[in-house]
Chain A
């Protein structure tokens, strides 16, 4: 293939959601045209990328047509009406299969919409389909999907991060303008970092979890997966805000995210105090990732930010704490998958009891990583061990929160590399759970404490030419700060690069090359 190969995206799929919104507003295009272009792009590249588990061609085009009618009638639902979106397969979608990347939910069609999905529909966004993920969001590479891995659009031999690798890859490969992800320990931010995209984990309670199939209820949060900070803010404002169906949802208005983003876009950070977290860097971090992080800090300093080093001593225990709390909650959440009411049912031969059916179904329906965490969590909650494990983890969690409080007294935002490394090769760490868990070293503290964070592309690592990310964290309910600083850094980096980082990605079909992925996609 030469030059502008057949797989080079048409300009319309490269456009950001904000650009598409403006084009719709000006009447230059239609939602149906935009949606069809993305569906075509999916048809073209998803065989290689495998970002989607389900593509809802019919539903997306129907919703796009309805959007065009509204716009023609002058009754548009808002700026994102008609812009198609992809949704991680962990959110319940009425009438559209929802699997969480697991065999155990194969064939389940939810009778209701998650609040996030309902809000997307209410804002007029056609849903392109459901994106791939590590089974029940357990993983950092999307290799633990029961339906085969997703491939990183920068290099199809590499992982796109996880658990939301499908959403990040879909956005990086221009299969969707943006997507919804969920972040329990970094599942939005780390895929963002390794695919050169933007990912936001909102304040815990800032976006409804109703209909988000829980991995760990006290850590999960849904958020935007986009190519720009502005698109993230636009999407966040659609999905965020109080929901009476989620008792943990915060009953206060969202901060003004779009305003903060526009304020940041001029690249001026005068007077902003930026804390570099000593414990999130150094050993275990790839040199090229650290180098790009240092570049970012330097750029922000030049832009007027006051940079201080802060110490969060308990962060070194965050990973261990997380791997007690998460499996404990997950072991209980996943108990409902017992073949009695929905999903997979495996009936052993002979005259099986209800327990036999439950056992056989769970044995066949859950993957190894899920079983590993169910066992860990069951152990951590067991009588006699609770205090030593789950109870102790909750105490450390409080200490991590105090570290954040102290740090935020000295800094308005905290920064660190998002992930310790760039994308690794598919298969490289799949048999080494501990190595896999280390991917979330820098992202986990935010989930433990409920604070918001964004990952934006920081550049390409020198040693492998792959994207790295910088993470910006702010106090709870100060999501506007991550947007302001994120937008500023994005603008400063774009000046350096003369465009977005994704512009430097090898086109699909060149470099690693388009080829059949060889895995069994569920419907894509």
Chain B
């Protein structure tokens, strides 16, 4: 079944979108939320479990203090208020990957609430309100074998890995984000991107969307333009990259608009995003029928962070993102546009690390934005997931500075890096990319170029130095690009002037 979509422009002409973003962050604590099991990713299934995270009868939870600390730091970084007293609650529902058939979470007493994050899109700042950030435990991971959908219905059998069960999660929920107009999908993407950067800076999570350590649900609703109301929302899950956040939001805008323009109602439901086809499909209907029967977890005592502790944690916060951006722009001497592009590409940290490795700011910007951002876009990959790290870029630039590479050869080194051929030096050696520094070979090539182009040579002799370009081109062709163009020019001019 294909959804009818309205064109994006037509949708925005009639409706105001309201965004809501729910982000689940897996913390990088050494142990789980309520037991001492390790949290390392990728271990053999069901080897990182104990009576508590398996929910065996009689087992009891004990709160991981480091997770509480991370939650408070996240809350503070999001300008939230930190609860003086809060409890965990049980969220009751049945599912085979839930060991206790309830999730230990927080309900009406989140650890952090009422904050905001300023998000920049195209030089405009959008303030995204943060409703709450609360602590909870992850579920196990189901693998449904057989059947066509990869989901539990229709599967031949299902396997469950409880290694993930009990890993600490922080769920960060925004308030409805209004007034973004046609920028809604970009604001959604920028929010998640900036949140990821903030979490990285805090050092509380690996924030790898592809491994599920940062998961995003995109809530979207439309209201008639200018009505100031909120429409019925859908909650789109399985949105596993920044690019998908934007695409999924855009898709839902177009789908909702078509439904509403056709005089029909939007169903409040969960939708699944399909990265490959770029569409959402209906999941289970989410309505008032969902009753999680929350009540305070009687096996845990309240969490009551002292104000002194909160103040200590506040002192550990890294520089806020907007201050950091302003400082870096100043230090690097970037124009507003250059800075905006860098942030927009999600390359701020990458550029920063490259500069820290010794590369001049403009060179770092040139490679990341001119070269690598384009490649990321072409392959629909996150720029940070290309497989090229700041140290590689810094090394390529130093090879250029040393005269071993020119820009054109450097691009070939990036090809090699993207193809996983090794370090920049290994690629230069293996591909034979180094510039020819053998003066004899260069001189011979220059001489033969002069001999083959007597008319051009005459022009130069007559003082038309600009004509040297043609000879340089001929030499570069002869040398298959592996020559230093400046040196070639010098050699030509030595001979003809």
Contact = CB atoms under 8 A, between A and B. Distances in A.
Nearest to B158: A354
B158 A381 contact: no
Interface stretch (A73-81, A208-216, A401-409, A487-495): A208-216
B58 A353 contact: no
A100 interface: yes
A338 B94 contact: yes
Contacts of A91: 58
A211 B63 CA distance: 17
A328 B90 CA distance: 11
A114 B160 CA distance: 26
A206 B15 CA distance: 61
Interface stretch (B97-105, B237-245, B396-404): B97-105
Given A355-B94, A382-B291, A247 B56 contact: no
A504 to B, nearest CB: 38
Interface in A320-365: 328-329, 331-332, 335-338, 340-342, 353-355, 358
A382 B55 CA distance: 23
B153 interface: yes
B300 interface: yes
B92 A332 contact: yes
B58 A213 contact: yes
B61 interface: yes
A335 B62 CA distance: 20
A91 B57 CA distance: 9
Contacts of A246: 60, 299
B185 to A, nearest CB: 33
Interface string B236-271: 000000000000000000000000000000000000
Interface stretch (A11-19, A105-113, A232-240, A278-286): A105-113
A354 B96 contact: yes
B59 interface: yes
Interface in B260-303: 288, 291, 293-295, 298-301
Contacts of B291: 382-383
A426 B209 CA distance: 62
Interface string A195-230: 000000000000001111110111000000000000
Contact of A92 (B57, B61, B300): B57
Chain B CB count within 10 A is highest, among A108, A210, A378, for: A210
Contacts of A100: 57
A108 B51 CA distance: 13
A114 B62 contact: no
B188 interface: no
A248 interface: yes
A381 B292 CA distance: 9
Contacts of A214: 58, 299
A386 interface: yes
Interface string B42-59: 000000000100111111
Contacts of A338: 94, 96, 101
Given A383-B291, A383-B293, A218 B58 contact: no
A328 B295 CA distance: 9
A108 B54 CA distance: 14
B47 to A, nearest CB: 14
Contacts of A337: 57
B391 interface: no
Contacts, number: 104
Nearest to B93: A335
A98 interface: yes
B293 A382 contact: yes
A512 interface: no
A332 B56 contact: no
A274 B153 CA distance: 64
B51 A336 contact: no
A247 B60 contact: yes
Interface in B54-108: 54-63, 90, 92, 94, 96, 99-102
Given A336-B55, A382-B291, A354 B299 contact: no
B301 A247 contact: yes
Contacts of B294: 381
B202 interface: no
B152 interface: yes
A335 B102 contact: yes
A335 B92 CA distance: 8
What secondary structure prevails in chain B residues at the interface with A? loop
Prevailing SS type, chain A contact patch:
loop
B230 to A, nearest CB: 21
Contacts of B60: 209-210, 245-247
Q: Which of B54, B153, B298, B301 has the most CB of A within 10 A?
A: B298
Given A248-B299, A381-B293, A110 B96 contact: no
Contacts of B59: 112, 210-211
Contacts of A216: 298
Contact of B94 (A92, A335, A382): A335
A208 to B, nearest CB: 9
Contacts of B300: 247-248
A338 B99 CA distance: 9
Contacts of A342: 56-57
Contacts of A341: 54-56, 99
Contacts of B57: 92, 98, 100, 105, 108, 110, 213, 336-337, 342
Nearest to A394: B296
Interface in A375-397: 378, 381-383, 386, 390
A68 B494 CA distance: 105
A244 interface: yes
Counting chain A CB atoms within 10 Å of each CB, which of B94, B158, B300 scores highest?
Answer: B94
Contact of A332 (B62, B63, B293): B293
Nearest to A90: B58
Given A218-B298, A248-B301, A335 B100 contact: yes
A210 B34 CA distance: 13
Contacts of A110: 51, 56-58
B294 to A, nearest CB: 8
Nearest to B101: A335
Nearest to B289: A383
Contacts of B61: 247
Contacts of B100: 335-336
Contact of B295 (A211, A335, A386): A386
Contacts of A378: 293
A89 B288 CA distance: 40
B305 to A, nearest CB: 16
Given A112-B56, A217-B298, A247-B301, A340 B62 contact: no
Could you say which of B54, B60, B92, B299 has the most chain A C-beta atoms within 10 Å of its C-beta? B60
A467 B264 CA distance: 73
A61 B219 CA distance: 64
A382 B160 CA distance: 29
Contacts of B51: 92, 110-112
Nearest to A108: B57
Contacts of A217: 298-299
A243 to B, nearest CB: 9
B297 to A, nearest CB: 8
Given A247-B299, A355-B94, 5 more contacts: A92-B56, A214-B299, A336-B100, A381-B293, A386-B293
Interface of A: 91-92, 98, 100, 105, 108, 110-112, 114, 209-214, 216-218, 244-248, 328-329, 331-332, 335-338, 340-342, 353-355, 358, 378, 381-383, 386, 390
30 contacts: A92-B57, A98-B57, A100-B57, A108-B57, A110-B51, A110-B56, A110-B58, A111-B56, A112-B51, A112-B59, A114-B58, A213-B57, A214-B299, A218-B298, A244-B62, A245-B62, A246-B60, A247-B61, A247-B63, A248-B298, A329-B298, A331-B92, A336-B99, A336-B101, A338-B101, A341-B55, A381-B294, A382-B293, A383-B288, A383-B291
Going nearest first, the 4 A-B pairs with the smallest beta carbon separation are A335-B101, A217-B298, A381-B293, A218-B298
Interface of B: 51, 54-63, 90, 92, 94, 96, 99-102, 152-153, 158, 160, 288, 291, 293-295, 298-301
